[in-house]
Structure 1
Amino acid sequence: MTSGLLLIDKAQGWTSHDAVARTRRLAGTRKVGHAGTLDPMATGLLVLGINSSTRLLTYVVGLDKEYLATIRLGRSTTTDDAEGDELTRATPDQVNAITPAAVTAGIADLTGDISQQPSAVSAIKVDGKRAYARVRAGEDVQLPSRPVTVSEFELLSSTHRDGCLDLEVRVECASGTYIRALARDLGIALGVGGHLTELRRTRIGPFRIENAATLERVDVAAQLISPADAAILLLPRLDLSAEQAIDLGHGKRITIAGDTTHAGPVAALAPDGRLVGLVEYRGDQAKSLLNFPPDEAEPNESTPPS
């Protein structure tokens, strides 16, 4: 039975749910999940889990991410992106007055540990209902600001177009950061308004877009990252003896030598490279957190992303 992680390059217009539904048909299983949504407007990397490997998605969701984006300065919208209605429009003179130094300073102010108010049309739940659903129902939603980390905010190029200034940028950030909100806040800081016109996710933790395939061209069997390969990309590794692998598979605690000070899950591998399960250390012992079915965890010929 097939199990593993699959890297998909989502096309514009597709929802993350669309990508999961298509993969269910391609993989011949209902058990498919994803680690973090992408808006229909956005393109790029989705990490999908198939069968028992959906349990590994927990360790993907919170990883840092990289995006390429286009920020349009000179207009603001109701959704902080190109899909919303226009709210404000700066004059050409106001846009032309934006200096490179002002852009650089504005980007610097939005880099590092910052406080960010998520867009009202985000997927954050408010009293059990998604914020975007409340907005579409006509409610005025104001989400509280929260701390986020933008580790890199790099200006790649700038172009004057249609009375606006388009900035091509690269952003590396912690999970939970909204690139639309960065576009909005940069526009506010420069006094001309701003919104996002393009967004492409290029990395989630160790997984990169270069190793992903489009839904039209993906070969699930050939491109699936095995549970073992995925787990050791995400977690520390523990190599088991044959006897330890059997004991752990039966739910027994095992005694191990070496450094057991790591807090959190560790990927436990059998001598043949199969992922037996995830364990946590308790003194000089390892206790099973979850086991992987042997018939789903066989290593395949896939090469883990670099």
Structure 2
Amino acid sequence: MPKSQKPSSGLVGAGLLIVDKEAGMTSHDVVSRCRKLLNTRKVGHAGTLDPMATGVLILGVERATKLLGLLALTTKSYTATIRLGQATTTDDAEGELLTTADASAVTDEQIAAQIAALTGDIQQVPASVSAIKVDGQRAHALIRAGEEVTLAARPVTVSRFDVLARRDVPADDSGPGFVDLDVDVDCSSGTYIRALARDLGAALGVGGHLTALRRTSVGPFTLEHARTLDELAEDPAVSLDIDQAAQTAFPHRQISAEEAESISQGRWLEPIGRKEIYAAIDPSGHTIALIQERGKRAGSVMVVRPATLR
């Protein structure tokens, strides 16, 4: 379906908007801009992306905002640049410089060994300026207020941590030499890439921080689905209408017209032995509901097209 075509069945404008966020904007800034471009207040985002980062940010529009909490966005992919030889207060380029060290003697073999130690199922201490809540307040807000914050390590999975390129900057009158690494990372939700940069630099004894970050995918949604805000301004419509969104994000179950009518009115279906949430698709290709099976009932966790809208 062309991006400019509106979804049918009374759900005009509903769907997911995959934004290729530019640097310098908060996720809230993106939501605010999209509300204006799409002329609706019903826009929300699934997860956040740091202001310095670019890339995939998922927004729900109109009725699809109800999808956001159900999306299985458990895997994410990034490209990033890590600078070895400098540590900062925020573990990224926006923080103040804490330490400097000459990283020019660090070998590729040493880097590979420490990256291997940071790959797989690991315990990671999040960056202290993260949005994690401590006693009901965001860690970054406590840091700005001058309080010390110590966050507990938590389990994350780094399934891929590959070095794509190395660039050595030799020492000069302005300071010691450092090393920039371009990397690709696939990881579980909740993994902090800047914490990987920090921990890699610390393990190598020279310090490290993140200088660039681009998110290339979140779950099944990639940069191929994404548009910049300038592109959205030229064609203000969702990236995936609510049918495409549900059928991209969830496995499917084909149902009859009679079953579609039943589930649209809040009744349940016969289970088919699936554990995960799935989309119930009617004969015309519309997503009627998202279903989860419990015991002898397959009931809706979200009715996408209630009888009143069909």
TM-score in terms of structure 1 length: 0.91
Deviation sequence 1:144-200 (CA, Å, 0-9, x none): 011110000000000012621000000000000000000000000000000000000
Which residue is 2:290 aligned to?
A: 278
TM-score in terms of structure 2 length: 0.89
In 2, the alpha carbon distance for the partners of 1:70 and 1:13 equals 17
Which residue is 1:46 aligned to?
A: 57
Residue aligned with 1:12, SS:
coil
Deviation sequence 1:48-68 (CA, Å, 0-9, x none): 110111122123364200000
One-letter identity of the residue aligned with 1:158: R
Which residue is 2:228 aligned to?
A: 214
Residue pairs, 1:234-249, within 5 angstroms: 234-249=249-264
Which residue is 1:302 aligned to?
A: none
In 1, the alpha carbon distance for the partners of 2:211 and 2:66 equals 34
One-letter identity of the residue aligned with 1:128: G
Which residue is 1:64 aligned to?
A: 75
Residue pairs, 1:79-158, within 5 angstroms: 79-91=90-102, 95-158=103-166
Residue aligned with 2:152, SS:
coil
Tell me if structure 2 keeps the 8 A contact 1:3–1:296: no
Moved more, 40-49 or 274-283: 274-283
One-letter identity of the residue aligned with 2:139: A
2:85 pairs with 1:74: yes
2:266 pairs with 1:251: yes
One-letter identity of the residue aligned with 1:108: A
Correspondence for 2:245 among 230, 238, 243: 230
Tell me if structure 1 keeps the 8 A contact 2:72–2:249: no
Aligned length: 291
Tell me if structure 1 keeps the 8 A contact 2:226–2:239: no
Which residue is 1:22 aligned to?
A: 33
Correspondence for 2:277 among 261, 265, 288: 265
Tell me if structure 1 keeps the 8 A contact 2:264–2:307: no
One-letter identity of the residue aligned with 2:293: Y
Residue aligned with 2:240, SS:
coil
Which residue is 1:204 aligned to?
A: 218
One-letter identity of the residue aligned with 1:54: T
One-letter identity of the residue aligned with 2:259: Q
Which residue is 1:177 aligned to?
A: 191
One-letter identity of the residue aligned with 1:19: V
Deviation sequence 1:1-26 (CA, Å, 0-9, x none): 21000110000001100000111111
Tell me if structure 1 keeps the 8 A contact 2:17–2:240: yes
Tell me if structure 1 keeps the 8 A contact 2:265–2:306: no
Tell me if structure 1 keeps the 8 A contact 2:261–2:307: no
Which residue is 2:208 aligned to?
A: 194
Which residue is 1:161 aligned to?
A: 169
Which residue is 2:48 aligned to?
A: 37
In 1, the alpha carbon distance for the partners of 2:70 and 2:304 equals 15
Residue aligned with 1:197, SS:
strand
Q: Percent identical across equivalent pairs?
A: 52
Residue aligned with 1:280, SS:
strand
Tell me how large the CA RMSD over aligned residues is: 1.8
Instruction: For residue 120 of structure 1, report the CA deviation from its aligned partner.
Output: 0.3
Instruction: For residue 297 of structure 1, report the CA deviation from its aligned partner.
Output: 8.4
One-letter identity of the residue aligned with 1:4: G
Residue aligned with 1:211, SS:
coil
One-letter identity of the residue aligned with 1:181: A
Moved more, 233-242 or 182-191: 233-242
With over 3 angstroms needed to count, the CA separation of the structure-2 counterparts of 1:105 and 1:297, relative to structure 1, is farther
In 2, the alpha carbon distance for the partners of 1:39 and 1:296 equals 39
Instruction: For residue 255 of structure 1, report the CA deviation from its aligned partner.
Output: 3.2
Deviation sequence 1:238-257 (CA, Å, 0-9, x none): 1111111111111122336x
Residue aligned with 2:198, SS:
helix
